[in-house]
Amino acid sequence: MTSDESLHDHRSRRALLRGAGVTVAAGAALGLTACGGTRHHHVPADPVAARADVALLNAAIDAEYHAIAAYTAGIPILGGRQRDAAKQFLNQDLTHATELISLIKKAGGAAHDRSPSYDLGHPQTPAEVLALLHGVERSLIRTYLQMIPRLQPGVTRSVVGSMLANEAEHVSMLRAHLGLAPVPAAFVSGNE
Amino acid sequence: MGAGIAAAAIPAVPALIAPAGGEAATPTQAEALAGALGVEQLAVFCYRHALTSGTLGPVASALANAFLVQEQAHAAALQARAGTLGVAIPPPPADVTEADRALEALHVRDLSTARTQKHLIALLETLEEVSEGTYYVLLGATGEAALLELAAQIMGNEAQHAMWLRALMTPRDVMKIVPSAFAEGRH
């Protein structure tokens, strides 16, 4: 399979994901399954590289599950535009998790399950929820930045890069809602 | 300026854009890096032009000023990597005519006809999406670890720029401001 075919497969599947929509319900948030994509399976030729990719992608899915749990718990405390943004970001992180599950399956691995619980602290106010979400999104960016140089197939790096860029959008919007400078650095690091 | 100079300004960019009805060929690392740098230089030119046009309001000007500084930082970092990797550095556009030719190659509207804040912001937002797309391509085209990390860091920042420019155009609508889980831009 060529890289172009693989890229086309990613685009088609993501178009389906967008079209189908992803529910915000907590049950769906915590019960993800891989979708579609059975026609073209891109498996790295090097099985050692594939195993390494699976480990990296599973680290990312762990971080996405954490973020999904944080949004699911925090959204009821938010209101107005903050709530609207958080719902949108939850949907997008759910989509990332679904994509990661698919990438892991294509690399010949098994995706991690969600943890039974996550330590989210005890946010009580909108500001505390936003701070929690800011923290988990920054952690996601650091995870993606660490893994991208170590992933093998170029198309996987590109797709993961596009998810990192979406997390950077989330962080920027959350910073604005927290009253922080929304775009403080020319190079996204996950420390801002 | 002649067409030859304009074409040389971003020699790799056309390779990153899919022709009508077809997929773009996968570029080499050198082509993808030169393409990303060419778009950064074009963005610097366009932000400067917008800021000196006198048509941006205070909020748009503040954003454009901040983003210009960051685009300059991106261009400098990419030039340093290009030098290390022996990749030829494309010259930036010298004037609006050259910039318009480069924008046309990227399927972005002309700078010379964007005379209102609305049009300038739309142009800059589209150009930011093109820039995101060059990094999406570069991430697939290179295996060089330092360049991969740099490209990913800049791609995230370009996505933030595009997001806030969309927020200027469609405030209060998060579905349009952050529309996709995959901020891959135009490529």
Question: Which domain CATH number covers A62?
Answer: 1.20.1260.10
The residue ranges of chain A whose pLDDT is under 50 are: 1-43
What's the pLDDT score for residue B68? 98
What's the pLDDT score for residue B172? 87
| pLDDT higher than threshold 60 for residue B94 | yes
Pairwise CA distance, residues B167 & B125, whole Å:
10
Contacts of B136 in chain A (CB under 8 A): 158, 161-162
Whether B172 has its CB under 8 Å from any CB of chain A: the answer is yes
> Is B65 among the domain residues?
yes
B160/A169 Cβ within 8 A: yes
B23/A186 Cβ within 8 A: no
- Does the pTM of the predicted model rise above 0.90? no
Tokens of B157: 């920042």
ipTM: 0.89
Query: Which residues of B, range 140-169, sit inside 8 Å of A by Cβ?
Result: 140-141, 143, 145-146, 148-161, 163-164
Task: Look up the domain containing A14 and give its range.
Answer: 3-177
> Is A182 among the domain residues?
no
**Per mean pLDDT, which range of A136-145, B12-21, B60-69 is the poorest?**
B12-21
> Is A185 among the domain residues?
no
Pairwise CA distance, residues A89 & A95, whole Å:
10
Whether B58 has its CB under 8 Å from any CB of chain A: the answer is no
Asked if B16 and B105 count as a contact pair (C-beta separation under 8 A), the reply is no
> Is A106 among the domain residues?
yes
- CB-closest option in A93, A145, A158 to B149: A145
**What contacts B124, CB < 8 A, 6 or more positions away?**
B43, B46, B47, B50, B64, B67, B165
> Is A15 among the domain residues?
yes
- CB-closest option in A88, A161, A172 to B152: A161
Q: How confident is the model at residue B24 (pLDDT cuts 50, 70, 90)?
A: low
Pairwise CA distance, residues A123 & A132, whole Å:
8
What's the pLDDT score for residue A49? 73
B161/A157 Cβ within 8 A: no
Give the position of tokens 């454009």: B64
Whether B132 has its CB under 8 Å from any CB of chain A: the answer is yes
Contacts of B185 in chain A (CB under 8 A): 165
Task: Look up the domain containing B76 and give its range.
Answer: 3-14+26-177
> Is A189 among the domain residues?
no
B157/A185 Cβ within 8 A: yes
Give me the phi and psi of B87, to 5 degrees please. Answer: -90, 130
| pLDDT higher than threshold 90 for residue B155 | yes
> Is B164 among the domain residues?
yes
- CB-closest option in B157, B172, B182 to A188: B157
Distances (CA, A) of A11 to A1, A101, A113: 16, 16, 25
Could you tell me which chain B residue has the CA closest to the CA of A152? B143
> Is B8 among the domain residues?
yes
B180/A92 Cβ within 8 A: yes
**More confident site: B171 or A131:** A131
> Is A184 among the domain residues?
no
* DSSP per-residue string spanning chain B: --HHHHHHHSTTHHHHSPPTTSPPPPPPHHHHHHHHHHHHHHHHHHHHHHHHTT---HHHHHHHHHHHHHHHHHHHHHHHHHHHHTPPPPPPP-SHHHHHHHHHHTT---STT--SHHHHHHHHHHHHHHHHHHHHHHHHH---HHHHHHHHHHHHHHHHHHHHHHHHHSTT-HHHHS--S------
Number of Cβ within a 10 Å radius of residue B18: 11
- Number of domains forming the structure of chain A: 1
Whether B129 has its CB under 8 Å from any CB of chain A: the answer is no
Query: Which residues of B, range 5-24, sit inside 8 Å of A by Cβ?
Result: 23
Contacts of A160 in chain B (CB under 8 A): 139
> Is A188 among the domain residues?
no
Q: Of all helices (H) and strands (E), which one includes residue A26? A: helix A26-29
% of chain B surpassing 90 pLDDT: 84
Q: How confident is the model at residue B69 (pLDDT cuts 50, 70, 90)?
A: very high
**What contacts B19, CB < 8 A, 6 or more positions away?**
none
> Is B132 among the domain residues?
yes
A174 three-class SS:
helix
- Number of domains forming the structure of chain B: 1
Which CATH number is B133's domain given? 1.20.1260.10
pLDDT per position as a tens digit, A72-100: 999 999 999 999 999 999 999 999 999 99
**What contacts B52, CB < 8 A, 6 or more positions away?**
none
What's the pLDDT score for residue B163? 98
